[in-house]
Chain A
Amino acid sequence: AMAENGGGAAERGGPPAPQRVLFPPTFSVSEIKNKQRRHFMFLRWKQQQRKEKLAAKKKRRKEREALGDKAPPKAVPKTIENQRVYDETTVDPNDEEVAFDEATDEFAPYFNRQTVPKILITTSDRPRGRTVRFCEQLATVIPNSHVYYRRGLALKRIIPQCIARDFTDLIVINEDRKIPNGLVLSHMPDGPTAHFRMSSVRLRKEIKRKGKEPTEHVPEVILNNFTTRLGHSVGRMFASLFPHDPQFTGRQVATFHNQRDYIFFRFHRYIFKSEKKVGIQELGPRFTLKLRSLQKGTFDSKFGEYEWIHKRREMDTSRRKFHL
């Protein structure tokens, strides 16, 4: 009986199906007890569905062609960005209140050209090789930045010293299990502190490219997709890392692209092949950041005033809701 079943599986198909799949359907594929048969019927059902779908598509296309110009416009597929839950803090470009806020916030001196950014890059205690190399590469990417090792110094004591020495920003790269996994970005004279989770860090040698090292030219900055108020402040933080005058002869561009609350950092060299085509070549490290918290003052984990913290229970409930 078993051999018969196995042998008969190949030729099976004709007899049972047409009689059964009538209206009203007397059985569903999941009611068959025999696994082999059930699997077979399911495959056949799937094939049928596919055929129907293909036929429907063809029909639609024919209709569309037949109508020609009068055809209804193509339906736009739904994407997560399309369906994004409207955030009430989205910045309207003409919003005066936002403009006023940004004129008077902590980055105003930078945007007014009163300060030149000077960055201090450091790590958590005892950095491993990968983190050290990443810090070095980051220092080449960001002009006017210095890397210092932290030998067990407390951040709270470093910060007054930095302010005294005219640093404008502090970057601390946190390391866990020999890879960098966190970034704290703190604006110096009393500025906001942002804590990010860093992932997919690629050092320069791991990137498939044939470019040389980034030169000393000041790169341009691209900030994409920072729509809400929170996104705006984070974007301004990033912008204030780079000097205000990019040197276009260097043809380097640093990009912070926000997509669904993940900020992708890339560093490219571009060249315009014609006025409609540009070629980009990736140099420099790349990493992605996810904002964890934004603090009003400089780094202070105990007594700081938090502007925004990522609360998983409340904020991760909807797949279409993003905060940046």
Chain B
Amino acid sequence: SPQVVWSMLGNRQFCSYKMTTKTQNFCRNEYNLTGLCNRSSCPLANSQYATVREEKGRCYLYMKTIERAAFPRRLWERVLLNKNYEKALEQIDENLIYWPRFIRHKCKQRFTKITQYLIRIRKLTLKRQRKLVPLRRKIERRERRREEKALIAAQLDNAIEKELLERLKQDTYGDIYNFPIHAFDKALQQQGAESESESDAEREEEEDEDVDTREFVEAEDSELSDFEDMDKLETSSEEEQEEEEEVEKKASHSKSKGKTPLKGPARRKRPYIEIEYEEETEPTTKTKAA
């Protein structure tokens, strides 16, 4: 009889569904109505019992009566509840019509809670889901180690300093810095080395005319880069735009293509457009850094 069951499970002997905490006892039985371990809430110790459970979004009312206590397989009778909240409540009422008040009330409360959380689930699935991607430890370790080694191999400070010095040499900064002497010498040397570049004739003319400006020009004369090539194709008509573009472009993206720590083309890439421009309006060369 249920009283005997309760006197055993509730207090004295072991109940595997019972979980005790400091303040309260919980019942882990899946048919439990309230979740607490009480005399009135224990599905094992009550011969007439009912619960509401949901499965895959649909709520069912489960009922247990004394008549079926001998047939465990048919013990719990299941009734599908209506999707409509009020109609489901009425259904609960009519199914548990002469049942104790406690069970009826708790069933309805439980059903309310379940519908609320189902609504919440539906709302959340419409929002963005956070996808959890597991990290693989070995891979993480490997990546971290490779990153460290790459950092050491990169020698960032040296690379940045080298790049900045090159830009200084290539005169992207123009008149801001006054280290003229060495730049002149280097430019002279480079001028000798680059005598085979495309705009030969023009350069020779310039050489005769004015030494200073030409030196700056020579220093910037080097192989083509992608963007400036494109520039050459498209905007060959507007000189000023060209000039600004190429200066800033040099400044803003110097891609050292194929540069490795060991070797690398020392010269920046400049278009030949510049030289053509120099021919026409030489006095304005000094303003390019502005």
Contact = CB atoms under 8 A, between A and B. Distances in A.
A26 interface: no
B224 A249 contact: no
B249 A79 contact: no
A220 B248 CA distance: 9
Contacts of B223: 93-94
Interface of B: 127-128, 130, 139, 143-144, 146-147, 149-151, 153-154, 156-157, 159-161, 163-165, 167-169, 172-174, 176-177, 179, 182-183, 223-227, 229-230, 233-235, 241, 244-245, 248-249, 251-262, 269, 289
A152 B260 contact: no
15 contacts: A79-B262, A91-B257, A99-B233, A102-B227, A113-B241, A199-B143, A222-B254, A226-B257, A227-B258, A244-B252, A245-B252, A248-B172, A253-B164, A255-B159, A280-B161
Nearest to B233: A103
Contacts of A245: 244, 248, 252
A230 to B, nearest CB: 13
Contacts of B230: 99-100, 102-103, 108, 111
A157 B161 CA distance: 43
Contacts of A108: 230
Contacts of B251: 220-221, 246, 248
Nearest to A270: B164
Nearest to B133: A176
A200 B262 contact: no
B260 A81 contact: yes
A259 B150 contact: yes
Q: Which of under 10, 10 to 19, 20 to 34, or 35 or more describes the interface residues of A?
A: 35 or more
Contacts of B172: 248
B248 A278 contact: no
Interface string A85-119: 00000110111101110110000100111000000
A102 B234 CA distance: 13
A225 B258 CA distance: 6
A239 B183 CA distance: 28
A82 interface: yes
Contacts of A260: 146, 149-150, 153
Interface of A: 76, 79-82, 90-91, 93-96, 98-100, 102-103, 108, 111-113, 125, 152, 154, 199-200, 220-227, 232, 235-236, 239, 242, 244-246, 248-249, 253, 255, 257, 259-262, 264, 266, 268, 270, 272, 274-276, 278, 280, 288, 290, 312
Contact of B154 (A226, A248, A253, A259): A259
A108 B144 CA distance: 36
B249 A244 contact: yes
Contacts of B164: 222, 253, 270, 272, 278, 280
Contacts of A274: 179
Given A226-B255, A248-B176, A152 B224 contact: no
Contacts of A152: 127-128
A268 to B, nearest CB: 6
Contact of A224 (B128, B146, B241, B259): B259
Contacts of A253: 160, 164
A275 B183 contact: yes
B254 A257 contact: no
Contact of A312 (B139, B154, B174): B139
A262 B235 CA distance: 36
B93 to A, nearest CB: 40
Given A81-B262, A249-B176, 12 more contacts: A90-B258, A93-B257, A223-B254, A227-B258, A236-B253, A244-B252, A264-B154, A270-B160, A275-B179, A275-B182, A278-B161, A278-B168
